Amino acid sequence: MIDSLTSLNGNTGHIPHTERSPMAVDSQSPDWLAWDESEFINSFNKKPFLIEHQLCNHPLFRMERLLELVKSRPESDIEYNAGNVPVSVSHDQTPMNGLSPEETVRRIRECQSWLVIKYIEQVPEYGELLEQCLEQVRPLSEKIVPGMMKPHAFVFITSPGSITPYHIDP
């Protein structure tokens, strides 16, 4: 399990270790991720650890582009709800926010909601970016758990202070 502390507005959790890969800020660079290598080796597939990233600087994650993405995806690939809920609320008790997915993205700063766009790897540009990220992970992950299977990419967009209910992604 990998945990990241970065939001779309660019607030990034700090990794207090010094053995990190250099961070990329150029949208043409494949080096979007950084982690402490010993922490990766000791934690991958065992327990959460931090991966720092600069994906919020990528053009595919600008709000205008995310709005285009949400408009292009089938309804079955979008989930969105109110964000003022307890962390442990069950899925069937999560209230809707009363907005469409497009309006949720447009008003994300003030609508106290969260939205996830699933399986974005099916869109070629996002699939290429996912592959760039996985190419960074493979040299270490393959030594621990060989054979990546079914890579998927989801984008979560949340309002400031909103809660995405506790969940486990496979």
pLDDT digits (tens, 9 = 90+) for 122-164: 999 999 999 999 999 999 999 999 999 899 999 999 999 877 7
In the chain, % of residues over pLDDT 70: 71
**What's the whole-number mean pLDDT along residues 85-112?**
77
25, exposed or middle or buried, with CB in 10 Å at 0-12, 13-18, 19+? exposed
The residue that leads in pLDDT, 128 or 113, is 128
Answer yes or no: is pLDDT of 60 > 60: yes
- Report the range of poorest mean pLDDT among 10-19, 52-61, 68-77, 142-151: 10-19
Answer yes or no: is pLDDT of 43 > 50: yes
DSSP classification of residue 8: T
pLDDT value for 85: 64
Would you place residue 86 in the very low, low, confident or very high pLDDT band (cuts 50, 70, 90)? low
Q: Would you say the pTM of this structure is higher than 0.85?
A: no
CB burial string 69-80: b at 16+ within 10 A, e below: bbeebeeebbbb
